[in-house]
Amino acid sequence: MRICTRTECLRLGVAIEEALLNAFYHGNLEISSEIREQDHHAYHQLAEQRSAQRPWSDRRIHVSVTVTPTEATYRVRDEGPGFDPSGLPDPTDPANLDRPCGRGLLLMRTFMSRVSYNSTGNEVVLTKLRNPETEFPDDLDSPEE
């Protein structure tokens, strides 16, 4: 559909990966970023434990994609309780740039045209708009050499 260039496709993939990681760790497993900031090992250990315990182990991530000639929209929804997105720290604030957490939000906001959440806070919608000025090579669909 030629929504984005190859470089933009890589960035789009990073944004989607960050949304999926957030849905898994923070949504379905309900693990706070603060734990990761204090002890990276404890964060992953708790994730491993909760992945094997109910109710966390029964939760799924739902992904849907809609692509039109002008945009691609990716919805990532977890089955966790959600959160209030207005309470998120600004990832572009210089005070937050050195923090080990929150970079996923910055990447999603940087690489996507729009990022929004549902009212429950358990679904993120990532939209990439096609830049009408982008010229695509004729061999875009052929494999790279």
Residue 36 has pLDDT above 70, yes or no: yes
| CATH T-level topology, domain 6-129 | Heat Shock Protein 90 (3.30.565)
8 CB-near residues (< 8 Å, 6+ apart) = 111, 128
pTM, two decimals, is 0.83
Domain ranges of the chain: 6-129
Alpha-carbon span 70 to 90, nearest angstrom: 29
Note the pLDDT of residue 145.
42
Residue 94 has pLDDT above 80, yes or no: no
